[in-house]
Structure 1
Amino acid sequence: MRQRRWIKLLSDYDCEIRYHPGKANVVADALSRKVRDKPLRVRSLVMSTYTDLSERILKAQLEAVKQENVKAENLGRLLKPIFEIHSNGIWYFKNCVWLPLFGGLRDLIMHESHKSKYSIHPGSDKMYQDMKKLYWWPNMKADIATYVSKCLTCAKVKAEHQRPSGLLQQPEIPEWKWEHITIDFVTGLPRTSSGYDSI
């Protein structure tokens, strides 16, 4: 019915309707065609779960508070007054787990928050906002920004690496149908077998 209505409407105008079956219609109909992606298939993912994370945190914290390691941890004289020790023995700063420099826990947590199979490469601000609810260490925001800046995937999609888009201008709305016709030209497409590169 919809096609019949369109044909009736177009029959009032002097135009030619050409039908290109199947693959021959790639260039002419590229913008109006619905994208048909392959159906998603569920694959089993290898998910690394750290059941011993609290033990690793506690072990790293105990290593960090040793007299010879306090200076490397960059906590200085603030060590005792700022931390609370919960019943499980883990040290907290304002209800956030303190991740010491020892044990490689900071890199592990940042990796899981940024590059794991279940994350979407958030920027440094979003990643910091998410992580500061659970974890704390000195200079945390700067460390996260440095970590994200080294991510190759994030560097590829930054705005400065993308071509700037042209100015968008809304065409005037015609007062009567077909009084004004606007045509969009799309150029720079891959060449077809006929040699065309634009719509």
Structure 2
Amino acid sequence: MEEGFEFSRKGKLSPRFTKPYCILKRVGPVTYQLELPPVLDHIHDVFHVSMLRCYYSNPTHIVPVEEIEVRPELTFEEELVQILDHDVKVLRRKFIPLVKVLWRNHSTKEAT
């Protein structure tokens, strides 16, 4: 599987690659035809190897669908589980309260 690049968004902070796509066949010595979804049917499906990156499967990339409740308008709500820590950041003349929060469906490493 190869990862294709992002076609829609432009900008410095936008992701460079999208999800993995299966290779259908090798077209030439340095070109491959990918199996693109119907959403990208306006894109030519043959790519040069310089535009592709090899994808290595990682179990942390898989998100169980049943754990996420997606609303019809394609949004979801995070639920607070526990406040892990709190602190006060002192600037010159300001005091900023900070709180470390554990969210539902996230590990303690992902606490914000």
Q: TM-score range by the shorter chain?
A: under 0.3
When Rg is computed on C-alpha atoms for both structures, the one with the higher figure is 1
TM-score by length of 1: 0.17
TM-score by length of 2: 0.25
> Could you say which structure has the greater relative contact order, defined with CA pairs below 8 angstroms and 6 or more residues apart?
2
